[in-house]
Amino acid sequence: MQNPSLRVSVSFAIVVIGTMTLAAQKPAGPYYWPSSQDRPALTLTANSANSLALQTGQNVTFKLAWSRTVPAGVFTYQFNWGDGTWTTVTNTVFSRSFSVARVYTVEVNALPAATAKNAKANVYASSNTVSIVVRAPANVELVPNSTSAISGDVVHFQATLNAPTPAVRYVFDFGDKTPPVSGSSQISHPYATVGDFPARVTVFLEDQSSVQSAPVTISVTSPVASANSSSGNNSGRTSQQVTSPQLSVALAKNVQPITGSQIGIIVNLTPSLAHVHYQINWGDGPENEDLANSQPPSHVYSAPGSYTIMVTAKRNPPFDPPLMESLPLTIASPAPPRSAMWPIVAVGIAAAAVIGCTLWFALRAPDTPVDLSPLVAAHETNSNLAQQKFRYIFSEGLSRHEIKMKRGPESFRRITMSSGMRSTEHTIIFPGETTAFK
Amino acid sequence: MDLEKLTIADLFSLPAEGPAKLAVGLNGERFKAIQQAASCLPSPIGWSEVRTEMAGRMIDALQTTLLGGLVSAWLKSKAVEEKAKKSQSSPETPFSCTLLEHAVESTLHPYVRILLDEKLVQQVDFDVNMTTQIEGLILNLESGSIVSIQPGRCEWSGSIGIDGVDLIERSLVALDLPGHIVFRHPIPLSTPSEPAAKPSRDQARVNN
């Protein structure tokens, strides 16, 4: 006969095992926590992509998707924005914008919701990473040298672009029904008719986008009205003064456009007017230099490159629209000093035989062809020269060549140098990795 | 800054006309053979002139673009390699590939050969080490070529040395690159000749 208590225990065990079996077969539900091998994967996308480039203030929608159905309310989602900030949400869709331009590496952690039971780990699953490149929006500002002009006057415009992408071209619409003009960031335009004209510039960028400036209104009046208006104000302006004077800028004579050299310019105003105030921007800095007492103007550039010298002439009184004139200029590096030169090329015995002396070159570029005929001719016509040391210097563009000569039927030897690359190795390393160079 | 044209010599800002700082670091004691050759010329040449010319020739060897090296490194990422293959097999479909924060470490070994009357006097081997830190990067691919990139912040440092002695060193400087660089000449991606490095944990995450 069986022990009743044992029968009860066996029955209880069957019930418990049966319950456990049922629990194991239970489909995914609110409190179903599969083992780590069986967990569903969490995928994050931003606007349906795994990488995105956008501008500050632009909205982006992040979507989370599980590889298997996961009941709602089981998880909260912690968005790690990659800049040290976090946002916790309960929905699988979240939209936001970014106010700071930078690259955001976004990752989402799924955490058990506060109500979830059996939660054994803080982070249940982590999503893939989505990169968001956030850029400041491009903008362009159009600034005229004057917003008022007399018909026939030339107005100078300066477009200032602030964009992460270089400009391909600037298209100016002067608002006076003349065709748009394509050009660089600076342009001049004569206004022939009277009226208020909204001028604007559209800049086409390398990434095939474009940005347009806010319109700036240029008010153009007739010369007669302007003169009447001026005389009405007792400014003493006559109709002769309505004629626009011409400002010109040119490089001074004997200027060497190289770094470290004084670059002088000649500023000329035709017809000559009294009470003219000049300002100059040399193009290598933001400052305008006052030239009232420093004519003739000059400047020293410290770095080679292309610059635009901008001269502004203001007539005061009466205050008329300032005149502006620009002068593009290319500054080169000076030829290397003598100490930096080294005689790479020595001349052969044949040349020595012709002129009867030792000859060697100090050439900046070994491949530069050198015309020796003037030198040889000088030797042949002046026997004294052949008995002495002397130096022959000539220039080609900005390169300075120097030939030294001295007596002596010495033979010539030549040193040359060549360069190349033995090997290169480029290795990509992600944070946390270490590598050794080969 | 034109990334397509930017050379390693540009990065070190050593114009061929006068790499004075590099030349100063070249110690004549290491190059006695060259000094001897220079001094035996009918018109002897001083060491300072020799070393300046050597430095100039070495800089000539560094007229190689930075971008070429970066692309070579990017190709070692499994993510890029896979996207490159997909792009090659689907030339009509644009692909983008994101690389998280990473560094590209480059070593270059330029050399200068000094010859006296066509006879080699000495070969001087230089070591150039560079590190380019890139905060993040999106490569846009078409037909198996990189057509544009959207780089995050880039920083660069490097040094030039001989036998472990640094002649010139450039500390970390930011490369002022535009946010979206469209290449005038797309850069074809070919499978690297050597086996790709084992993907790191971060790369594996990129590949997700």
pLDDT at B107 over 90: yes
Written as one string, the DSSP assignment of A127-153 is ---EEEEEEPPPEEEEEES-SEEETT-
CA distance B116 to chain A (A): 5
CA distance B202 to B101: 9
Cis peptide before A296 (omega within 30 of 0): yes
Determine the distance in angstroms separating the CA of B169 from the nearest CA of chain A, rounded to an integer: 18
Interface of B with A in 29-68 (CB under 8 A): 37-38, 40-43, 45, 48-50, 52-54, 57-58, 60-61, 64
CB B115 within 8 A of CB A417: yes
Closest by Cβ to A133, choosing from B102, B148, B150? B150
Q: How much is the mean pLDDT over chain A? A: 68
- Residues of chain A in contact with residue B205, where contact means CB-CB under 8 angstroms, are 128-129
Residue A273 has pLDDT above 70, yes or no: no
CATH topology of domain A36-135: Immunoglobulin-like (2.60.40)
For residue A428, give the nearest of B49, B76, B138 by CB distance: B76
Contact A340 B197 (CB under 8 A): no
pLDDT at B24: 67
Chain A residues within an 8 Å CB radius of B42: 358, 360, 408, 410-413
Contacts of A435 in chain B (CB under 8 A): 105, 197
Instruction: Evaluate whether A36-135 and A138-244 have a shared fold.
Output: yes
Model pLDDT for residues A394-422, shown as the tens digit of each residue: 443 333 444 444 433 333 455 677 788 88
Phi, psi (deg, nearest 5) at residue A95: -120, 145
- The residue count of chain B comes to 208
Q: Which of A286-295, A324-333, B109-118 has the lowest mean pLDDT?
A: A286-295
- Mean pLDDT across the stretch B143-162? 88
The Cα of A217 is separated from the nearest Cα of chain B by a number of Å equal to 32
Centroid of chain to Cα A295? 35
Domain boundaries, chain B: 8-206
pLDDT tens, position by position, B56-67: 778 888 888 888
pLDDT of residue B151: 86
The answer to whether B7 contacts chain A (CB < 8 Å) is no
From chain A, pick out residues whose CB is under 8 angstroms from the CB of B77.
Answer: 428
Of A129, A417, A437, the CB nearest to B112: A417
For chain A, give every domain's residue range.
Answer: 36-135, 138-244, 245-334, 336-438
Domain A138-244 has CATH 3.40.1190.20: no
**Minimal CA–CA distance to B55: which of B102, B3, B89, B12?**
B12
- CB count in 10 Å sphere of residue A267: 20
Tokens of A239: 């109709």
Instruction: Name residue, tokens 């699988």.
Output: A92
What's the mean pLDDT in A86-95? 89
The pLDDT tens digits for A186-215 are 888 888 888 899 999 998 887 777 888 989
- Cβ contact A400:A364 at 8 Å: yes
Q: What is the pLDDT of residue A200?
A: 92
Which CATH code for domain A245-334? 2.60.40.10
Shortest CA distance from B130: residue in chain A: A426
Test B206 with A424 for CB contact under 8 angstroms: no
Distance from CA of B155 to the nearest CA of A (A): 14
CB within 8 A of B68, min separation 6: which ones?
A: none
Q: pLDDT at position A11, please?
A: 47
Chain A residues within an 8 Å CB radius of B70: 426
A409 Cβ contact partners less than 8 Å away, ≥ 6 residues apart: A352, A356, A357, A358
Rounded Cα distance, B39 and B33, in Å: 10
Give B32 or A182, the one with higher predicted confidence.
Answer: A182
CB B178 within 8 A of CB A206: yes
For residue A401, what are the β-bridge partners?
A: A394
Amino acid at A343: P
Mean pLDDT across B7-27? 69
Between A154 and A321, name the one with better pLDDT: A154
B positions 103-142 inside 8 Å of A (CB): 103-118, 121, 125, 129, 135-136, 138
Q: Which residue would you say has higher pLDDT here, A194 or B46?
A: A194
Per-residue pLDDT averaged across A234-241, rounded?
A: 36
In tens, the pLDDT along A99-118 reads: 887 778 888 988 877 644 44
Residue ranges with strand state E in A303-432:
305-315, 323-331, 358-362, 390-396, 399-406, 415-429
Alpha carbon distance B142, A395 (integer Å): 49
- How much is the CA Rg of chain B, to the nearest whole Å? 21
Instruction: Using a pLDDT cut of 70, give the percent of chain A over it.
Output: 59
User: Cβ contact (<8 Å) for A419 and B58?
Assistant: yes
Q: How far is Cα A266 from Cα A249, in angstroms, rounded to an integer?
A: 6
**Could you report the per-residue pLDDT of A145-186, keeping only the tens digit for each?**
888 888 888 888 888 887 767 778 889 999 988 888 888 888
> How far is Cα B28 from Cα B51, in angstroms, rounded to an integer?
8
Contact status of B167 with chain A (Cβ, < 8 Å): no
